[in-house]
Structure 1
Amino acid sequence: MKKTILPLASGLLAATLAVPTLSWAAVPESLESIEVSGRSMPVKDVRETTMADIYEVRLETGETFYTNAEGNYFLVGDLYEKTDSGLVNLTEKARNAERQERLEEVADDKRVTFRSTDETRARVVVFTDTTCPYCQRFHEEMSRFNELGIAVDYLAFPRGGMESPGGRELQKIWCAENSSEAMSAAFREEPLESDATCDNPVEEQYHLGLELGVQGTPAIIMPDGRLVPGYVPAERLAKLLGLE
């Protein structure tokens, strides 16, 4: 199904959520095709939750909501489990796992990587835009990240879209013979000699970022899939990674 998502409950479904701990048990056929006001919603898959008669519905757009077996009640929000140690956000926990899985599918040669020659103690993925001031600040600390044993894999996220200055520049970087040198040059606001006509993954990575909940740059994805938005200084990132 390729139809556009239908606004529901005054746009509540615009919140991008994730899949909690769910099973792939048989689900009601009534949820395979959900209609609202006579229009089909772009259902990608349906899973049974740990709550009786409550199902998670994932749309092709990446959005998620919960519903009953008949598909006539809808709930948007995070699902928590009460444990002896407190509340556990199952939605975010599953979202982190999904980010890990999706990023593992990105080949190394489609990343722009910075790492030291010494031992790599942690590896993070950072969605970046060379026209973003906070991305520039982040890149200025790259040598310090590497000294601390933190390898950084850049993925492209042109905030203004593919036709924005950032979008065009990111394509030039991925088309350059040495993409890491081109990335550093772009952050120094030096002109790039390469063009953007090669078969590059910038648009694909942009949509991947949107799918994973990236709303701005820099967006740091930790090894466990957690999303840390915004600029984080090297020393603080090392602490978040448990390196200090």
Structure 2
Amino acid sequence: MKSFSTLLTCVLVITLACAGSTLADDDQVVRQTIISKLKAARSDLDYKFIGPSEIPAFYEVQVMGGPILYVSEDGEFFFDGALYKVKVGQFVDVRNLRLDVDRREVFASLSTDEMIVFKSSIPTKAIINVFTDVDCGYCRKLHQEVPELNQMGVEVRYLAFPRAGVASASYDKIATAWCSDDPQGSLTRSKNGDDDPLNVCSENPVAEHYNLGQRLGVTGTPAIVLMDGTMLPGYQKAEALAKILGIGS
């Protein structure tokens, strides 16, 4: 009886291993099918296969520098845009759930060396990462809240996101701040409408920030990303941000 039990266990292990291998092989076939079909249609775009989506028989594919596509397993059909999961009492944005994880992982390891950082004036209690544009009115309003945020213990880390794109006047202005010997002062002056003379250095990280923002779901500015990956689109007053961060009085 014991030997039969041992034999049955071995058979189950082998069966599960084979099933896992078959599933992996199937995913590889689907991946190759989808990417080849997309490339045949638009070879000028780069695609990253993510994996199965919440919709049966549809897979997520990231267009690099563009949207996430939901593609049928035969690669014949796709759609993009928001995908919502129907749950009791709410509609849940599936993409945002995944992007929360992506954003959390990115900002857990992203160096601040290429950010413009306004450190808190007391021991740091919280950090916000802000995709910003110098020509954005609400970005300017948020920047006026930075001194108060710093006094509350909030460190503000800026990344560049010129809404008009990397071939624009906004890009030149914000790149000038990043290229300045005094990036904090230059960014502040620009947000106050007093732009420094243009000085776009070749090693500035603005295009890299812009592409990162697009990958992480940024569509407008200011876009505030918390360290847990949550993104808060739009302007928030210092008091409101403090409450969200759990440091409000």
What TM bracket, shorter-length normalisation?
0.7 to 0.9
Match of residue 121, structure 1, among 120, 125, 145:
125
1:78 aligns with one of 64, 83, 87: 83
- The aligned residue for residue 97 of structure 2 is 93
Letter in 2 for 1:39: A
Q: Please state which structure has a larger fraction of its residues in helix.
A: 2
Residue 218 of structure 1 aligns to which amino acid in structure 2?
A: P
Alpha-carbon displacement from aligned partner over 1:80-119 (angstroms, at most 9, x marks no partner): 2748x96654431111111233344542110000122312
What residue ranges of structure 1 are gaps of 5+ in the alignment?
1-23
Report what 2:19 is aligned to: none
**CA–CA distance in structure 2, aligned partners of residues 234 and 137 of structure 1:** 11
Name the residue aligned to 2:223: 219
Q: 2:243 aligns with which of 210, 223, 239?
A: 239
Contact 2:65 2:214 in 1 (8 A): no
Partner AA of 1:97 in structure 2: V
- What whole-Å deviation, never above 9, does each CA across 1:32-75 have from its counterpart, x for those lacking one? 32249x62564321413466544323333442233343223435
Q: Is the 8 A contact 1:176 1:194 kept in 2?
A: no
Q: Which consecutive unaligned segments of at least 5 residues does structure 2 have?
A: 1-22
Q: For residues 167 and 60 of structure 1, do their structure 2 counterparts lie closer, same or farther at Cα, with a shift above 3 Å needed?
A: closer
Give the alignment of 1:192-203 within 5 angstroms: 192=196, 195-203=199-207
- Larger Rg: 1 or 2? 2
Residue matched to 2:68:
64
Secondary structure (helix, strand or coil) at the match of 2:247 reads: coil
Instruction: Give the TM-score taking structure 2 as reference length.
Output: 0.75
Q: How does 1:6-17 map to 2 (within 5 A)?
A: none
Cα displacement (A) at 1:124: 0.8
Residue aligned with 2:48, SS: strand
Does structure 1 residue 175 correspond to structure 2 residue 179? Answer: yes
Contact kept in structure 2, 1:130 and 1:186, CA below 8 Å? yes
Does residue 45 of structure 1 match 2:49? yes
CA contact (8 A) 2:130 2:156 kept: yes
Q: CA deviation at 1:149?
A: 1.5
The answer to whether 1:34 aligns with 2:5 is: no
Pair 217,79 (structure 1): closer, same or farther in 2 beyond 3 Å: closer
> Is the contact between residue 108 and residue 227 of structure 2 (CA under 8 Å) also seen in structure 1?
no
1:158-210 superposed Cα distances (whole Å, 9 cap, x missing partner): 12233433222211111111211222222233342572234111122122222
CA distance in 2, matches of 1:160, 1:231: 19
When residues 160 and 54 of structure 1 are mapped into structure 2, their CA distance, relative to the original with a 3 A threshold, is closer
CA contact 1:157–1:206 (8 Å) conserved in 2 = yes
What secondary structure sits across from 1:109 in the alignment? coil
Change (3 A) 1:129 1:81: same
Number of equivalenced pairs: 219
User: Given that residues 175 and 194 in structure 1 are in contact (C-alpha distance below 8 angstroms), is that contact kept between their aligned partners in structure 2?
Assistant: no
> Structure 2 vs 1, CA of residues 47 and 243 (structure 1 numbering), >3 Å: closer, same or farther?
same
Aligned AA (2:117): T
Give the partner amino acid of 1:112.
I
Q: CA RMSD in A?
A: 2.8
Which stretch shows the higher mean deviation, 211-220 or 185-194? 185-194
- Larger deviation, residues 186-195 vs 106-115: 186-195
> 1:91-170 counterparts in 2 under 5 A?
91-104=95-108, 106-170=110-174
Q: Which moved more, 1:124-133 or 1:45-54?
A: 45-54
Cα distance between partner residues in 2 of 1:163 and 1:52: 40
